[in-house]
Amino acid sequence: MKINMRIKSNVSRRNFIVSAVIAGALIVGAGLYYIEVLGSYRVNKHIGEGKSLFVLPDTIIFFTVVLLGISALAYAYWKKVQLGKKIDEMDESLKSAFESFEEFVSLSGLKKSERSELNSEVLALFMEAHKNGRTVRQVIGDNQEVFAHEMIKAYGIKNFWLYDILTAIQYFVFYMFAGTFLISAKRGVGVFDAEMPYSLIAFFALAAFVTIPLVYRNKRKAFVEKDGKVPKGIIAILIVTVGFLAGFIILMDVIETWFEQNALVAAFLEGEVKVVASAWHIAGLLFVLAFSIGLKRRFHPNKK
């Protein structure tokens, strides 16, 4: 039975690769037809009028690389689909625990290569456990969060707060840039003339420095198994973000009503500032962004 499945799997893999190569060849062929027969390359000044693209020595190499690239992408996609099928076959508790683990690891601050290595290691473990009819509790014990923490700690991760704060700074700078560009587009003024309301800056600060660390923390906490179900981190994100947004709007309204006569509050509610008033401001924000990224790497939680 196993042999049959193996043969079947090899056949489907071969068929898929052959199909991908044929599809890639068709795409490349269609491209070549367009360029050679219909396209403007025939009058390209670098090649000469009416001449073929193949007078250039790099053409064949270029299209071979494109073909190989398409095939490799198709193969990688096929592998991903196959892996997804295997994950779906797992026992529900193992599958759910793995998905939560993946999510937990994605917020751990580990490098992409380390995340992928860790996920793959745990997936291999869960799949073998599934084949042997074991449950998630039998494999990693009662507390899945402890297991995830221990695994991440083994990679040198000790605490997350600095990482979260630096991430928040990055988000804040990004919001400032994005907000400025949107305001400039909406008001039809230049980027350097776009003024951002103080209240919007305050909201961005709240979103970045409170919501982001909270959401990250909640998502990590969401890994904890409750009543046999692993809560999804996305619920925490939605609740916290929507809560903050609603709270902020209500707060603004309350402040306006209560302190109508207060000059300071009025200045805050009606005030605007040019966040990006010149190229120097862009340089400054980019510096902060680069500095926070640099610090994140320097004080990376998994750095020994």
| Among positions 84, 141, 228, 243, the unique one binding another protein when judged by CB under 8 A | 141
Measured from the CB atom, is 126 or 203 closer to another protein? 126
β-pair type (196-197, 272-273): antiparallel
Residue 155 within binding range of another protein, rule CB under 8 A: yes
User: How many angstroms separate the CA atoms of 165 and 161, rounded?
Assistant: 6
CB of 134 to another protein, least distance (A): 9
User: How many angstroms separate the CA atoms of 70 and 26, rounded?
Assistant: 11
Q: Which residues contact 28 (CB under 8 A, 6 or more apart)?
A: 63, 66, 67, 70
Residue 122 within binding range of another protein, rule CB under 8 A: yes
Measured from the CB atom, is 80 or 187 closer to another protein? 80
In 3D space, the residue among 150, 94, 166, 162 whose CA is nearest the CA of residue 125 turns out to be: 94
CB of 100 to another protein, least distance (A): 14
| Among positions 8, 14, 131, 221, the unique one binding another protein when judged by CB under 8 A | 131
CB of 218 to another protein, least distance (A): 23
| Among positions 26, 55, 81, 146, the unique one binding another protein when judged by CB under 8 A | 146
Measured from the CB atom, is 5 or 37 closer to another protein? 5
Q: Which stretch binds another protein (CB under 8 A): 135-143, 175-183, 219-227, 230-238?
A: 135-143
CB of 150 to another protein, least distance (A): 4
CB of 111 to another protein, least distance (A): 13
Measured from the CB atom, is 128 or 193 closer to another protein? 128
Name the residues that contact another protein, by CB under 8 A: 83, 86, 118, 120-125, 127-131, 138-141, 146-147, 150-151, 153-156
